[in-house]
Structure 1
Amino acid sequence: MSAASRTSLLATLGLLVMTAVWGSTFVLIKGVVDRMPVADFLAVRFVVAAIVTCALFHRHVARLERRQLWRGLVLGVIYGCGQLLQTWGLALISPSVSGFVTGMYVVFTPILATLILRQRTPSVTWVAVALATLGLALLSLNGFSVDTGVWLTLLSALLYGLHIIALGHWSRAEEAFGLSTVQMAVIALVCLLATVGHGGPTLPPDRHAWIAVLYMALVAGAGAMLIQTWAQAHLPATRAAIVMTTEPVFAAGFAVALGADVLTWRMLVGGGLVLAAMYMVELMPRRGSKNALPAEAVHHEV
């Protein structure tokens, strides 16, 4: 195995770990948001994450070029708005519908890559997208009504797809710590601004809520952003999006393990389809393919 292949494999495994962490937060988020406003929860979570990353990686930020600082600002605004829209939408619709609609970023990512980057997407990727979408539907969809919550969540999925595309286009491995830190700071600012209407953020109500918020801030927030930023410096954006569709699989697994849900045929079949989609993209032949975008090609200047 070549060095490039090993790095690509490590990046894929990193994204899988990050996605598993995201999947583990579902039950925690539901419990905390029931006891404090959405914007307040997100503000506290990302302020904590921003403070820690700034303390650890401020020197990496200082080494960023001005252009990368502006890119970090844009990425942070996109992701922060996506977080707010997704969580507000979740307050208005069922978690199952929210999970499916959020997972639509796997559909938006190759479409945005084609429209924005003029990237030619291999046909096997579209087959994988169809499989992943069907898998997500089986995992999450229990009734579907197009109301305000659905539209908010759909818009958040569009922003997540845009974030994946932009991060894959701009991220460089040697700048991962600095770029992640800038994004964390901007996400925290976006969420803080969302709390201005009711006088600023309130703190978590008890010790259990604080533990949940700290876990989501440090592990699922700062840690996951570091992993994603580094991994997407080595993977095409569409492949990253397919790998990240394993989030609902992990969410279902944690829900079953924690007794919050029961194992069903939909979980088994849907999870299998999502994994099949990931393997199709990861294991498809790359030699002679002009459509498969190599990791280094993501970084050409615009």
Structure 2
Amino acid sequence: MLAVRRTDAVLVLVALVWGSSYLVAKSATDVLPVLAVLFARYALGALACGAVVLVRRRPWSRTEVRAGALLGVTQAAVLVLETYGVAHTSAAHAGLLISLTIVLTPPLDRTRPPLPGRFYAAALLCVVAVGLIGAGGEGGLGLPRGGDLLMLAAAVVRAGHVALVGRVTARHRVDPSHLTAVQMVAGTALVLPFTLPHLGALAASGPATGARLLYLALACGVFAFLAQTWAVQRTSASRASLLLGTEPVWAVATGLALGGEHLTPWAAAGAALMLAGTYWGQAVERGHRDEGPARSAHEAGKPLVQERARSLA
């Protein structure tokens, strides 16, 4: 039980860091081009991961390199969509919409038993919430903003990424630091060619922007990805996604408290539905998973009971 709580706490901490990242990324993209922000985030993260790997001095495997390169591509796709999305919407909206990942991951997670219908009722609640958040602009209900649509696309890709991480770590023993380092290097290589025209602007950025980039790279990048990989190895992709679903709470909190943002009544209603659906789905998934071992033990004990009954007869 203590190990489960520790894993859950790490995932919630990752959600807190990622929730705050939307406001930080939005502030950075107000000063620098999106691709320059992404390159700095990846390059600084790759250097930090390289230092961790050198200190630990653990042997590498080909699986870590191959899987890390593949996950680096999917991770880069998520970050590109997220960063462009948050640049064209509010941090609160971005954090709320990305939590659609919660309802998209379970169908992709083959490591868990089928979930009950109540989970999908919670998922439907989240879908309704997404509609209210995306359409609840300043003038009332209307078409969602381009940034909101990009965040929805990021949620789809992130669901696939989380499920893929779970599948890789379930089949192979991998070192999270190696896996994260390869992902960071792969992301740096993918983004670099498109960043060359913006390197001058990146070099001329001030200390405040530099601090934001360091936070995105070290806290939201290295720490979060290492912690996520470590935690997914000890739980299911569905449970990890549900716990990471507390991310919108922190996104809204930082956006409202520190970013001076506000939610329209429709978007606020959507936020409430999203949080309700998230926590309901989390409770259903946890209860269903806890019932699995008990059900298996009960089924396994039936032959023993039947055999004892026959012997007594």
Contact 1:39 1:194 in 2 (8 A): yes
Superposed CA deviations along residues 160-205 of structure 1, whole A, max 9, x for unmatched, are 1111001111126761222122222222222223324x36474262
226-235 or 283-292, which deviates more: 283-292
Q: Please give the alpha-carbon distance, in whole angstroms, between the structure 2 residues aligned to 1:51 and 1:29.
A: 20
> Does 2:197 match 1:216?
no
Q: Please give the alpha-carbon distance, in whole angstroms, between the structure 1 residues aligned to 2:200 and 2:162.
A: 28
Hey, what does 1:186 align to over in structure 2? 186
Hey, what does 2:115 align to over in structure 1? 122
Q: Please give the alpha-carbon distance, in whole angstroms, between the structure 2 residues aligned to 1:166 and 1:252.
A: 28
Offset at residue 73 of structure 1 (A): 0.6
1:81-100 paired onto structure 2 within 5 Å: 81-93=77-89, 95=91, 98-100=94-96
Hey, what does 1:257 align to over in structure 2? 257
Secondary structure of 2:18's counterpart equals helix
What 5-or-longer segments of structure 2 have no aligned partner? 297-313
TM-align CA RMSD: 3.2
What 5-or-longer segments of structure 1 have no aligned partner? 293-302
Hey, what does 1:300 align to over in structure 2? none
> Between Structure 1 and Structure 2, which shows a larger proportion of helix residues?
2
Contact 1:128 1:278 in 2 (8 A): no
* 1:262 to 1:159, Cα distance in 2 relative to 1, 3 A: closer
With normalisation by structure 1, the TM-score equals: 0.80
* 1:69 to 1:27, Cα distance in 2 relative to 1, 3 A: same
Hey, what does 2:65 align to over in structure 1? 69
51-60 or 204-213, which deviates more: 51-60
Superposed CA deviations along residues 212-241 of structure 1, whole A, max 9, x for unmatched, are 111111111111111001000011111111
Contact 1:139 1:270 in 2 (8 A): no
Offset at residue 248 of structure 1 (A): 0.9
* 1:214 to 1:199, Cα distance in 2 relative to 1, 3 A: closer
Hey, what does 2:300 align to over in structure 1? none
Pairs aligned (count): 284
Give the letter aligned to residue 209 of structure 2. Answer: A
1:4-153 paired onto structure 2 within 5 Å: 5-58=1-54, 63-93=59-89, 95=91, 98-113=94-109, 117=110, 120-123=113-116, 124-134=118-128, 142-143=136-137, 145=143, 149-153=147-151
Q: Please give the alpha-carbon distance, in whole angstroms, between the structure 1 residues aligned to 2:132 and 2:4.
A: 29
* 1:118 to 1:165, Cα distance in 2 relative to 1, 3 A: same
Contact 2:25 2:83 in 1 (8 A): no
* 1:31 to 1:288, Cα distance in 2 relative to 1, 3 A: closer
Secondary structure of 1:286's counterpart equals helix
223-232 or 50-59, which deviates more: 50-59
Query: Please, which of 255, 258, 278 is the counterpart of residue 282 of structure 2?
Result: 278
Contact 2:81 2:154 in 1 (8 A): yes
Identity over the aligned pairs, expressed in percent? 24
* 1:27 to 1:149, Cα distance in 2 relative to 1, 3 A: closer
With normalisation by structure 2, the TM-score equals: 0.78
Hey, what does 1:175 align to over in structure 2? 175
Secondary structure of 2:290's counterpart equals coil
* 1:50 to 1:61, Cα distance in 2 relative to 1, 3 A: farther
